[in-house]
Amino acid sequence: MPAELLAETPTRRASKPALGFSILGLGISIYLTIEHFSSSKLLACPESATINCAKVTTSRWSHIFGIPVAVLGLAFFLAISLLLLPVAWREPRLDRARVMACAVGTVMVLYLVYIELFQVNAICLWCTAVHVCTVALLGAVLWHTSTVRIERPA
């Protein structure tokens, strides 16, 4: 394989954090989905007035149109992980889809944080980890997209 294909370009460096945040979010979403359907209450989250994962994940707000939020998160991170695989970065037509998906995910995060703070009156630490991954993912995808545009002007 030619050395230039293996070289660490700014584009390759920029795509690694995005995939990392996506895989981390996917792992946490898998855990939350398993917890949702098993009802094992092993959320490993303190139960206090402010921090209470069980209160958040079992509230009436934990479903959107009858679909558990954990499953929606799992679907999001699975789809975005596919869009962030190294082979997918080679397709510039997917840049807009990546940015839009991450933007929609971030808007969803803002909605869910509002629900946690003002409707449920509790914070889920696992959910917060997913929220941080989603916002960081948007930043990493925007970073990568801007790096690609600098390397390959339109």
Instruction: Mark out the alpha helices in 39-151 (DSSP H runs).
Output: 53-57, 69-83, 86-89, 95-115, 125-151
Task: Tell me whether residue 77 is exposed, middle or buried, using C-beta atoms within 10 angstroms of its C-beta: 0 to 12, 13 to 18, 19 or more.
Answer: buried
At 3 the pLDDT is 47
Exposure class string for 115-139: b at 16+ Cβ within 10 A, else e: bbeeebebbbebbbbbbebbbbbbe
What class does CATH assign to 17-151? Answer: mainly alpha
Residues of the chain with pLDDT under 50: 1-3, 5-7, 10
At 150 the pLDDT is 54
At 14 the pLDDT is 59
8 Å CB contact between 73 and 27: no
Residue 17 and residue 133: Cα distance in Å, rounded?
10
pTM of the model: 0.85
